[in-house]
C-alpha cells in the first residue's frame, strides 16, 4: 500500500483478529466502518472455511436462533439490520420470528463483505485460513509475531483473540469411552448419527441438549428414546414477547447487589412477582437483570460471586437462556410421550458392554445408584470456560508465558476494561486483547449478540483512537526499530 498523508508515505498498521466467528467478524466489520487517519490492514484468521463460526455454520438440521429476529442485529447502531436482511430472502418474516442459525451466518458474511466494499481506500481486509498457536511479543518494540500451526508467521501491531466458545469439559467417569464412536465428546464438532430404535444418554439439560434431541429425532425419524441427566434436571424456559423495562427500574437491584447475593435474589424475585401481579411477565425482570449484569456482577464480592455460581447459576441459566415457543412445545410433547426423559443426578461410571454402554448414576437426593443401558452417550454440558482445561494451543501458550491469566472463578480470562489481557504480574497488555464469551469473568453476561456487539464496537473505537496508533513514515526508525511494511508469512507478504 502506498497511501500518502500530508505528503509522506505511511505504513499500514496491522490488527490481527484470531477467529472469524461472531465476535471476530463483528470486530472486523466495526473496524472497516471506522474513520482511520492512517492506513490500516485487518488480518482475519480463521481455521474454518467461512466466517460465522460453528454456531452459524450450515448443517443438515435447521437449528433455530433462540432470540427473535428483531433483537439479533450485529450492528449496535442499527437494531433492525438483521431483520431487513432476513426479509430480503423471506418477505413474510416478522420481528418476533425465530430464524435458522444458518441464515444468521449468511448475514454475518454479507455484512463483512459490505463493510469491506465500502471501507476507505487505505483500510483493507485480508482473510487468512489457518490456526494461530502462539503470540510472541517483542522485547524491543510493540510489534507482535503471530505463529501459525503450519509454520507461517506474521507481524502485527495489535492482536485480538476472538476464539469463540470452547468445547465442553470431559465427563467424570467417561475415561473408558474415549475414542469410542458411541461417545460424542463435543456434539458441535462431530454430530451423533442416531438411528431409529436407539436409546441415547445426554449428559446436560441445557440448550445443547435441546439442539441434540431435535436433530437426533430427525435422524431417527422420531423413533428414538433420549435420557437427559444433569445435577438439577432443569431445562430452559420458553420465550414470550414482553416489554422492556428501563434501567431506572433496577435501582433497587443495584443497591441489593452492593449488600449481598441473598438481598439481590430477594429483590429480583420481588420485582418478578410484582410484575406478574400487574399483568406483566417475569421475563421483564430477567431482561432487566441481564441489562444490569456488568454493574451487578462488579458490585458482588468474590465470595458472593462464588455463592452465585454454586447455588443460583443453574436457575439463572434456564430463565435467561430461553427457547422458542415452538421448540419448547416440541420438548413438552416428547416428554409426554416418554421419548425424552429428564432426570436430576450425577454420573458415576460409564463402561462399554458389547454393543451398549452401561451407565451407573445416582439420582439427586438418593444414596442408591442405578444403571442405565444405552446405545450412545453425548456430552451436552456446554462450553467449559475454565482456561486451565483449555485445549486451545494459543491460550495454552499465552498462559504458559504468563501473558494471560486465568480468572480465579474459572469463568475465563482476566482482562481490563478495554478487553486487554492482564498478565501474571497484574499488568494490562498494550496490544493483546480478548473479545468473546470468556469476558464473563469481568461482566458475567457476555455470551449473546446484544452484549458482544456492544463490546466489539467499543474495542474497535479503542483500537482506532489508541494513543500508540501513530503514523510512521516508511523510512523512519523509532528508537532503532523499523516497522514492517506488511504482514509477512515466513518472509512472504500476505496477498
DSSP state, residue 478: B
| pLDDT score at 469 | 43
Domain boundary among 282, 316, 350: 316
Q: For residue 419, is it within any domain?
A: yes
Do 402 and 298 belong to one domain?
no
| pLDDT score at 190 | 73
Task: Among 72-81, 100-109, 464-473, name the one with the lowest average pLDDT.
Answer: 464-473
Instruction: Give the residue with greater pLDDT, 356 vs 222.
Output: 356
Q: For residue 327, is it within any domain?
A: yes
Given a cut of 60, is residue 480 above it in pLDDT? Answer: no
Is the Cα torsion angle 24, 25, 28, 29 positive or negative in sign? Answer: negative
Do 337 and 391 belong to one domain?
no
Do 224 and 154 belong to one domain?
no
Do 85 and 124 belong to one domain?
yes
Do 161 and 92 belong to one domain?
yes
Given a cut of 70, is residue 393 above it in pLDDT? Answer: yes
**b/e burial code for range 333-343 (CB count within 10 A of at least 16 → b):** ebeeeebbebb
Cα 283 to Cα 276: distance, rounded to the nearest angstrom: 10
pLDDT, tens digit (0-9, with 9 covering 90-100), for 435-453? 999 999 999 988 888 899 9
Do 470 and 372 belong to one domain?
no
Q: For residue 242, is it within any domain?
A: no
pLDDT, tens digit (0-9, with 9 covering 90-100), for 242-252? 888 887 788 88
Do 45 and 127 belong to one domain?
yes
Do 23 and 83 belong to one domain?
yes
As a whole number of Å, the end-to-end CA separation of the chain is: 11
The three grid cell numbers given for residue 350, joined into one nine-digit string: 460409564
Given a cut of 90, is residue 32 above it in pLDDT? Answer: yes
pLDDT grade for 482, boundaries at 50, 70 and 90? very low
Number of structural domains found in the chain = 3
Give percent of the chain with pLDDT exceeding 70: 90
Do 340 and 401 belong to one domain?
no
* Widest Cα–Cα separation across the chain: 81
Pick the closest to residue 421 from 13, 14, 18 (CA basis).
18
Q: For residue 139, is it within any domain?
A: yes
Cα 85 to Cα 82: distance, rounded to the nearest angstrom: 5
pLDDT grade for 63, boundaries at 50, 70 and 90? confident
Given a cut of 90, is residue 181 above it in pLDDT? Answer: no
Do 334 and 444 belong to one domain?
no
The three grid cell numbers given for residue 468, joined into one nine-digit string: 500508540
pLDDT grade for 18, boundaries at 50, 70 and 90? very high
Which residues pair with residue 481 across a beta bridge? 478
Domain boundary among 336, 353, 379: 379
| pLDDT score at 474 | 31
Which residues pair with residue 341 across a beta bridge? 227
Q: For residue 98, is it within any domain?
A: yes
Do 56 and 136 belong to one domain?
yes
Given a cut of 90, is residue 340 above it in pLDDT? Answer: yes
Do 103 and 197 belong to one domain?
no
DSSP state, residue 308: I
Within 10 Å of residue 469's Cβ, how many Cβ atoms? 18
Range of the domain at 310: 247-316
pLDDT grade for 484, boundaries at 50, 70 and 90? very low
Domain boundary among 379, 395, 412: 379
In this structure, are residues 208 and 380 in contact, taking their beta carbons and an 8 Å threshold? yes
The CATH number of whichever domain residue 489 belongs to comes to: 3.50.50.60
| pLDDT score at 172 | 83
**b/e burial code for range 110-137 (CB count within 10 A of at least 16 → b):** ebbeebbeebeebbbbbbbebebbbbeb
Strands 340-353 and 356-363, sheet pairing: antiparallel
Amino acid at each position: 500500500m502506498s497511501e500518502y498523508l500530508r505528503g509522506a508515505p505511511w505504513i499500514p498498521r496491522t490488527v490481527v483478529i484470531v477467529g472469524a466467528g461472531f465476535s471476530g467478524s463483528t470486530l472486523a466489520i466495526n473496524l472497516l466502518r471506522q474513520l482511520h487517519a492512517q492506513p490500516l490492514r485487518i488480518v482475519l484468521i480463521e481455521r474454518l472455511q467461512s466466517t460465522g463460526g460453528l454456531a452459524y455454520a450450515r448443517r443438515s438440521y435447521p437449528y433455530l436462533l433462540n432470540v427473535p429476529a428483531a433483537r439479533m442485529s450485529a450492528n449496535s447502531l442499527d437494531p433492525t439490520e438483521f431483520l431487513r436482511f432476513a426479509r430480503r430472502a423471506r418477505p413474510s418474516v416478522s420481528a418476533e420470528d425465530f430464524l435458522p442459525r444458518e441464515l444468521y451466518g449468511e448475514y454475518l458474511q454479507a455484512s463483512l463483505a459490505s463493510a469491506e466494499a465500502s471501507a476507505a481506500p487505505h483500510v483493507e481486509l485480508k482473510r487468512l485460513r489457518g490456526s494461530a498457536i502462539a503470540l510472541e511479543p517483542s522485547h524491543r518494540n510493540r510489534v507482535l509475531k503471530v505463529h501459525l500451526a503450519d509454520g507461517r508467521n506474521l507481524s502485527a501491531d495489535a492482536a485480538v483473540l476472538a476464539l469463540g466458545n470452547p468445547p465442553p469439559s470431559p465427563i467424570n467417569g467417561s475415561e473408558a469411552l474415549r475414542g469410542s464412536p458411541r461417545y460424542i465428546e463435543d456434539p458441535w464438532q462431530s454430530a451423533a448419527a442416531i438411528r431409529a430404535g436407539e436409546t441415547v444418554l445426554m449428559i446436560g439439560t441445557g440448550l445443547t441438549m435441546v439442539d441434540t434431541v431435535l436433530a437426533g429425532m430427525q435422524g431417527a425419524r422420531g423413533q428414538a428414546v433420549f435420557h437427559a441427566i444433569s445435577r438439577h434436571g432443569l431445562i430452559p424456559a420458553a420465550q414470550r414477547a414482553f416489554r422492556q423495562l428501563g434501567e431506572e427500574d433496577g435501582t433497587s437491584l443495584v443497591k441489593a447487589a452492593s449488600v449481598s447475593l441473598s438481598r439481590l435474589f430477594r429483590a429480583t424475585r420481588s420485582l418478578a412477582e410484582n410484575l406478574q401481579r400487574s399483568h406483566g411477565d417475569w421475563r421483564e425482570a430477567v431482561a432487566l437483570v441481564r441489562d444490569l449484569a456488568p454493574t451487578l456482577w462488579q458490585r458482588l464480592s468474590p465470595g458472593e460471586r462464588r455463592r452465585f455460581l454454586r447455588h443460583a447459576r443453574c436457575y439463572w441459566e434456564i430463565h435467561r437462556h430461553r427457547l422458542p415457543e415452538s421448540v419448547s412445545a416440541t420438548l413438552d410433547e416428547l416428554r409426554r410421550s416418554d421419548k425424552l426423559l429428564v432426570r436430576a443426578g450425577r454420573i458415576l461410571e460409564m463402561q462399554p458392554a458389547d454393543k451398549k454402554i452401561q451407565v451407573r448414576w445416582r439420582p439427586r437426593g438418593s444414596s442408591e445408584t442405578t444403571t442405565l443401558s444405552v446405545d450412545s452417550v453425548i456430552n451436552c454440558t456446554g462450553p467449559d470456560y475454565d482456561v486451565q482445561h483449555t485445549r486451545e494451543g494459543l491460550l495454552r501458550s499465552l498462559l504458559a508465558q504468563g501473558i494471560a491469566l486465568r480468572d480465579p472463578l474459572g469463568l475465563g480470562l482476566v482482562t481490563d476494561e478495554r478487553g486487554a489481557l492482564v498478565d501474571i504480574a497484574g499488568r494490562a497488555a498494550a496490544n493483546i486483547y480478548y473479545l468473546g464469551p470468556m469476558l464473563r469473568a469481568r461482566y458475567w453476561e457476555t455470551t449473546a449478540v446484544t452484549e458482544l456487539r456492544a463490546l466489539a464496537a467499543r474495542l474497535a473505537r479503542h483500537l482506532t483512537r489508541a494513543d500508540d496508533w501513530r503514523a510512521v513514515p516508511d523510512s523512519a526508525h523509532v528508537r532503532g526499530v523499523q516497522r514492517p511494511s506488511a504482514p509477512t508469512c515466513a518472509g512472504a507478504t500476505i496477498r
